Amino acid sequence: MPTTGTTKSTTSAGTAKQRKVADCRLFPSEKNCSLTIAGTEEEVLEVAVQHAATSHGHKNTPELRNQIKAMLKDER
């Protein structure tokens, strides 16, 4: 029988969503922007798309969203 009983307490924390980081320095832009956005993938995408649109003049398109999604990194 596997000893899953002892790991039960840690599974609640383990199921927490992996936080993602969007680093604006990795995103091509004319500005020297050093903003980083951290949170769940949904949160980061939402804010990053808005930031790209308002601060960098990108068009808020599904394509932009995909580009940002592609450059998300796992938070450590």
Say whether residue 33 binds Zn ion (CB under 5 A): yes
d(CA 59, CA 21) in angstroms, rounded, equals 21
Angle between helices 62-70 and 41-56 in degrees, nearest 10: 120
Closest contact distance (angstroms) between CB of 25 and Zn ion is: 8
The residue written with tokens 């091509």 in the block is: 28
State yes or no: residue 35 binds Zn ion (CB under 5 A). Answer: yes
Which one of 25-33, 42-50, 57-65, 66-74 is the stretch in contact with Zn ion (CB under 5 A)? 25-33
* Contact residues: Zn ion, CB under 5 A: 24, 33, 35
